Every structure is written in structure tokens, then in C-alpha cells.
Structure 1
Amino acid sequence: MKQLKFLYTRSVIYVVALAVAVISMVSLRKCQHSHAGSDTGSAETDTLDVAIEYSPLSFYTYADTLGGFNYDLLNYIAGRHGLTLRFHPVVSLSQSLENLDKGSYDILVADIPLTYQYREKLNFLEPVMTDRQVLVQLRDSVTKKPPVKRQLDLAGDTVWVIAGSSVADRISNLSQEIGDTIYVRPDSVNGAEQLFILTAMGQIKHAVINERVARQLIKDYPQADISVYISFSQFQSWIAGGRHPWVADSLNSWIKQAKNDKAYKTLTKRYLK
């Protein structure tokens, strides 16, 4: 229990420190970016409020450095099109989706699988990469092998997922495929990184998160196992809100352009290989 309290305390301190760093960074960027070079053709705004998930792949801080695939790609696009980005680091996906719907943000950037069911509900943008979901579990302390070796072994078991994510739909479909119930525990507080750590520490039994995030984290938690795939590869996309109608069309075009640039290939090599 003391270990778990330490984890939560460390996470809170870390996120607060990150938020302060981002505020300072945004203030600097406002002074540096030109406001005359926007390709939107709109005088409404050239500042976008971006809710960005705090995770090893999307957005992270190391010492005094900020980085991440989504973070760097956003900054590259902003630099090309004269935009200022105001970042809002988030952990809870369900709360972020609510705030996006309320108009608090222009876009939500997170590790979100693009599925048919969610495309009907949300305004997904041009995909930025592909990923798949994996099961996070502890290896047996003696055999060093995972207790769940295939999807069928999850019958009657419980997995934790991020609340608001389409992963819950995938688990529901998997239950039908194996002909047995898999119980889902949506977590509205923790993100993928926290669910991984809680599993690796033995606080929860199973979690399902994106593989690219899991592969970053398992380097520090070798007692965890991520060998069981829960889904096939899926497109990962950002989500646009409805506050500024031009945002979705413009970003779709800019993302397509960016994926043909050398800078995009450099980012994928740095973060995704």
C-alpha cells in the first residue's frame, strides 16, 4: 500500500511539474511564431488548444526536455502553417472527451484506436500511425512465464482498460469470438502508463493498452509480459472538436502533407521503430 501511495504521489507531482513547464514553453512559442503565415484562410484564430495525453509515446518530459511522437509532429505542423499551440496535458481520456465536447479544446491527441463504432461518435482526423492492443500481465515468479498465453485464457477473467477508449469494444468483441465472458473494468482516472505500472506492481491483474506504449515501459519493468495480442493493427488518430469548423479540414490536409515529408520519416524512426 505504501508503494501504491508513492506511485500516486509521484504521478501528481510529475504532472504538475509538467504543466508548469508546458505553460512556460507555450509563452515562449507565442513570441516566436508568426501570426501572418496561417494557411487556414481564417481570421478567427491561429491558436489551437490541444489536449495531449501524457504517455511515453505521445508526450513526455525528461529532465527539462519535452518530447513524444504526437507532440513533435504537432509542433512540426504548427511550424509549417503558422499556428500557436496551447498544450493541456491530460491523463483521463473520458474527462478529456467530455471537455472536447464542451469546447474546451480544439483537438484531443492520445493513443486512440480508430474503430467503426467510434468513427460514428467522434470526428477522427487523418491517421498518424498504426498500433495494436496487448495484454499487460505479470510473469510467474518461478517459471518466468505469463499465466495467460493466448486470448482464450482470458475467459471469465477481468481486464482493466482506459475509460472512454474503444478498447472496451474490442474486449466485448473478443468475448463473443471466444464464446465466454471477459469482464471489463474501465478506469476513468489512470492512463495507459499508470495502468501498466499498476499491473507490473501487482496492484491489478490485467490491463489492455497500446503495444507501442507498453514496449516503452517494459524496459523498466521486466517482470511484466506483453506477449499476448488483443487486436490486429489499427489506425491511430487525433480527434477534432467543433469549436472552430476549419480545424478538422485543415488538419486533415496538413497531416497528409506531413506524412510525405522527410521530417515525418525521421519522427517514425525515432519513436516508432
Structure 2
Amino acid sequence: MRIKTIICIVLIVIIGSCNHVSNNHNINGFYVSSDASDFTIKRILERKKLIAATDYGSINYLIYRGEPIGYQYEILKDFTTHLGVELELIIENDISKGIEMLNNNEIDLLAMALTVTSERSKHFSFTIPIMTTRQVLVQKKPDGYHKMKTADEIESHLLRNPLDLANAKVHVQEGTIFAKRLQTLSDEIADTIEVIIDPRDVEDLIHAVSQGEIDYTVADEHIAKVNGKYYRNIDVKTTLSFPQKIAWAAKRGQTGLVDTIDNWINTFNKTLKSRLLYNKYFKNIRSRKIVNSEYNSYSGGSLSPYDEYIKNSSKIIGWDWLLLASMIYQESEFKPNVKSWVGAYGLMQLMPHVLEKYGLDSKASPKEQIMAGVKHIRYIDNQIPDEIADSTERIKFVLASYNCGLGHVLDARRLAEKDGKDPNVWTHNVDSCILSLSEKEYYHDPVVYNGYVRGKETFNFVRQIIERYNIYKELIND
């Protein structure tokens, strides 16, 4: 009788185990159950696509020379590669709308670098932290700060103590946790901080501080520091919070997806690639080339060791070799091995996919680099509309497209035409519209197909190359 009982128990265990296995599905090598908690990960694996929302800007996701980059984008790409699925990114800078999309099952994941709070945790399932940050006050440095003799003189004009925020007006992005933090600070200092909920996103508000349109805003420290490299007249050193966790969010209860991400993040965070990716977006200084007195040293007639290559290659596209030289200096300062923070390489700062298009890689010689760059210029020129017939203006359109991508330049042309400007003239027409494409009002316009671009960089890229070219013509005896 005892033996029969033991056999019966063993059979029950075996049957139970078989039933458990039958409720699991092997999809792309991942075992997921039929439980509701695994619904999202099962859906992702079956459709072979992860749909995520993130914000469009200078950090998380943007298009650089026709190639998508960004901190959130690159992490998401690594995760989807791990899963063996494609990534579909939906751009949404409005946090409230992103949350709505998540709740309506329009997306699988909200990858907007959300701060984890107890209140938010009631509504979402958060992953383990991707990073930590602090909330900081963004304020404008005093006018003429660069002429002040001491750091203390600059400091005397800046707020460093939260007590000094009494009666201040602080603009914060709608849907963020910044307003709640300021309200808590207001209670702690027993004084009023006027919090103005603003529909603009964080980077737009930082720009507004730089321009003197508003006095203060609040941002996550990592975003504030990156923008501080663009806007040298802002200060981001005043912290308003303790370190806080930044994570992705899934719909409440979707532990299957969250567990899968957590396991991957735990491994990814230990890799060299993770550290390099963080340094790439948050620690590298993105330099801007400007014209300065060093150009006088070239007045002897030689600009670089590559002058002959430049002269010969420029004939292919019908450019003055000095114009091509000015462009190469803008891109690399004639350094053939230089690599940018986004991976653009060499004298012409070509992205890897462009080098590959012309059968080259990072081992290409300076001569090969220049030839590939010229071929790419010719390719771009062939895509520029024939309506831009003036050769001088056409060169400016080619330069702009080389810098930010043809799609953004065509967007700027459509904006110009809509605004009654001449879409075939760069200066004082399309150039002003490329500047507008960093503003939400314009990059969300129906005639704009390619979204946000940091237009000031492209504007300066074209202007500085032409200005330097004119200097070269005066100084170089050719």
C-alpha cells in the first residue's frame, strides 16, 4: 500500500510537470508562459518586433547624417538584438501621451528615461535602473560672465541654496516629476516657489533659459550637462534632489517583459560597451569648429599634406579646391584618423555605412578618404532638386545635406515655401528654416517628414565653411 501511494505521488508530480511545460512556448529560443504577466513578451517575440516610445532630442534619439543615434536608441537596439527582434520606435516628447500609448497597448515599452517614484510604480512595472541622476536647477549665467575676473564674482549672481528660490518662477515640463519636487521644496523652505507647468519639453526649456526668455527650469542632471556644452551661458550645478533611479516602464503587471529586460540589463551593465556608450553621450566634449587666427599660418600656399589629393579630387565635382579644403578642415582639421563621438571617421568624417558604400573602412588612406567624400558629395548633388540652379546656392544645399542629411534639408525647403520664402535660395531663406527644425512647432509641421534636427549646427556648418573659403581665397596663392 505504501509503495502504491509513493507511485501515485510521483505520477502526479510528473503529470503536473508535463502540464507546466505544455503551457510554455519556445519562441526565438525564449520560453514564455501563457500567463497574463507574459502576454507582452509573448506578443513581441511572435510579431518579431518591439514597439517602444522615446523622446526626440539631442540625447535619447536623433538622426545624424542620415543615421539614427541616441543613448536610449542604442540601448534599445542592443536589447532587441539580444531578443532577435526588430525595433520600431515611436517618437513622443509628451510624457502624458507616452503613458496613454502604453496603457492603450499601442506600445510595449516606454523608454523615455523616466524617474522611478512610488506613485509611478503604482501604475507601471519599472525595469531595474538604466542609470541614476539628480534633479538640477538650470539658470542663466550673468550677462558678461566671461569678462568677470573671478569665479566668486560669477557665483554671486547664481542661486546655490534652495532657500533662494523663494518667490522665484520656475518653468517645468508638463508630466514630469519636477513640479512635485519643487512643491516639496516650497514646503521645506516655508515659502512660495511659483511653479509654471509648461508644454515645452526639457531641452526647449533649457534653450529658453539660455535665451533669457525664462529665468529657471529643472532638468535631470545628465541632460542638463549635455545641453550645457551647447549653451555655454547656462549653469547646471545647483542640485535639487538626491540621486534618483532612471528606468524603462512597461504596462502594470507585465513582469515577463520586465524580468527579461532586467536579466539583460544586469549583464549589459557589466560590459565595456555599456560604459563606452555612457561616455559617448554624457562625457565626451562635442567640439565646434570656428575660424580663428591660425589660418594665417597657411598663407604660404600650403594648407595640408593632402593638398594635391584635394586639388585632383575637387575637379570631379567641379569645386574650387579651396572650398573642398575648407570643408575638410571643418570636418577634421586635416586629421586623417580622427573619430567623432558618433563614429564618423577620417578627413571627411564619413559615417561607417557611407565608407562601406564606397568599399572602404577605417583603414582607408587619406587619398581614399577624400575620394570617397567627393563621391558622396557628387551623390548628394545628384539628389538635390534641379530647381536649385544657381551654382553658389546649390553648393550650400549640398553642404547642408552632407551635414544633417538631405531629408532635413528638403523639409526646410518645404517650410520655406510654406512661409513664402524662396526654397531655391539658402541664404536668408532656407537657412532660417533649418534653424526652425529644432523647435517643436516646426518639426511637427505636416510638411516636415524627417522630424527634429539641431539646425544651428547645420546653419553654422555651411556659414563657417563659406567664410573660411573666402579667407583661403584671400590668403592662399594658387
Select which of 202, 213, 226 maps to 1:216.
226
Per the alignment, residue 37 of structure 1 pairs with 28
SS of equivalent residue, structure 2 residue 137 = strand
For 1:39, the aligned partner's letter is F
The amino acid across from 2:213 in the alignment is: Q
Cα 1:243/1:67, change in 2 over 3 Å: farther
How far apart in 2 are the matches of 1:203 and 1:118?
31
How does 1:91-110 map onto structure 2 within 5 Å? 91-110=93-112
Matches within 5 A, 1:9-158: 37=28, 39=30, 41=32, 42=42, 44-142=46-144, 145=154, 146-158=157-169
Change in CA separation of 1:215 and 1:246 when aligned onto 2, cut-off 3 Å? same
Which whole-Å CA distance do the structure 1 matches of 2:191 and 2:121 have between them?
A: 27
Distance in 1 separating the partners of 2:209 and 2:63: 22
Letter in 1 for 2:224: A
Q: Which residue among 170, 177, 182 is the counterpart of 2:181?
A: 170
Q: Deviations over 1:27-77 (max 9, x none)?
A: xxxxxxxxx735353364331111011233322222223212211111111
**Distance in 1 separating the partners of 2:123 and 2:253:** 16
In structure 1, distance between residues paired with 2:60 and 2:177: 18
1: distance between equivalents of 2:61 and 2:253? 23
What amino acid maps onto 2:278 in structure 1?
T
> What secondary structure is seen at the aligned counterpart in 1 of 2:30?
coil
Q: Tell me by how many angstroms 1:142 deviates.
A: 4.2
RMSD in angstroms over aligned alpha carbons?
Answer: 2.3
Return the structure number with greater strand share: 1
Give the deviation of 1:203 after TM superposition.
1.7
Q: Structure 2 regions of 5+ residues with no counterpart? A: 1-26, 33-41, 147-153, 284-478
**What secondary structure sits across from 2:114 in the alignment?**
coil
Q: 1:148-189, CA deviations, whole angstroms, 9 ceiling, x for partnerless residues? A: 23211111212111211122221122112212121222223x
Deviation at residue 269 of structure 1 after TM alignment = 2.8
Letter in 2 for 1:79: T
Paired AA for residue 111 in structure 1? A
TM-score, normalised to structure 1's length?
A: 0.79
Q: Mean alpha-carbon deviation: is it higher for 169-178 or for 255-264?
A: 255-264
Letter of the 1:37 counterpart: N
Residue number in structure 1 paired with 2:273: 263
Output aligned runs, 1:194-205, within 5 Å: 194-205=204-215
Equivalent pairs, count:
238
Determine the C-alpha separation between the residues in 1 that align with 2:220 and 2:229.
Answer: 15
Which of 227, 230, 235 aligns to 2:237? It is: 227
Q: Of residues 165, 171, 181 in structure 2, which corresponds to 1:160?
A: 171
Deviation at residue 244 of structure 1 after TM alignment: 6.5
Larger fraction in helix: 2
Question: Shift of residue 194 of structure 1?
Answer: 1.0
Q: Distance in 2 between matches of 1:199 and 1:168?
A: 17
SS of the aligned residue for 1:253 comes to helix
Overall identity of the aligned pairs, in %:
27
CA distance in 1, matches of 2:223, 2:62: 12
Contact 1:118 / 1:166 at 8 angstroms: preserved in 2? no
Taking a change above 3 Å as real, the CA distance of residues 220 and 249 of structure 1, as seen in their structure-2 partners, is: same
**One-letter amino acid matched to 1:195:** L
In the TM superposition, residue 242 of structure 1 has moved relative to its aligned partner by 5.4
With over 3 angstroms needed to count, the CA separation of the structure-2 counterparts of 1:247 and 1:40, relative to structure 1, is farther
The answer on 1:239 being equivalent to 2:239 is no
CA shift in 2, pair 1:88/1:38, >3 Å: farther
Residue 180 (1) aligns with residue 191 (2)? yes
Distance 1:157 1:121 in 2: 32
SS in 1 for 2:115: coil
Structure 2: how far apart are the matches of 1:244 and 1:77? 17
| Change beyond 3 A, Cα 1:265–1:272 | same
2:235 match: secondary structure: strand
Match of 1:30 in 2: none
Considering only CA atoms, is the larger Rg found in Structure 1 or Structure 2?
2
Q: Per chain length, whose mean CA-contact separation is higher, i.e. which structure has more relative contact order (CA < 8 Å, sep 6+)?
A: 1
Amino acid at match of 2:30: D
| Partner Cα separation in structure 2 for residue 166 and residue 204 of structure 1 | 19
Q: Does the CA contact (< 8 Å) of 1:161 and 1:167 recur in 2?
A: yes
Contiguous gaps of at least 5 residues in structure 1:
1-35
Gap change, CA 1:187 and 1:103, over 3 Å in 2 = farther
Task: Output one character per residue of 1:114-164: Cα deviation in whole Å (capped at 9) or x when no partner.
Answer: 122322232221110111111111122145634423211111212111211
Q: 4+ residue stretches of structure 1 with deviation over 4 A?
A: 242-245
The answer to whether the 8 Å contact 2:125/2:254 transfers is no
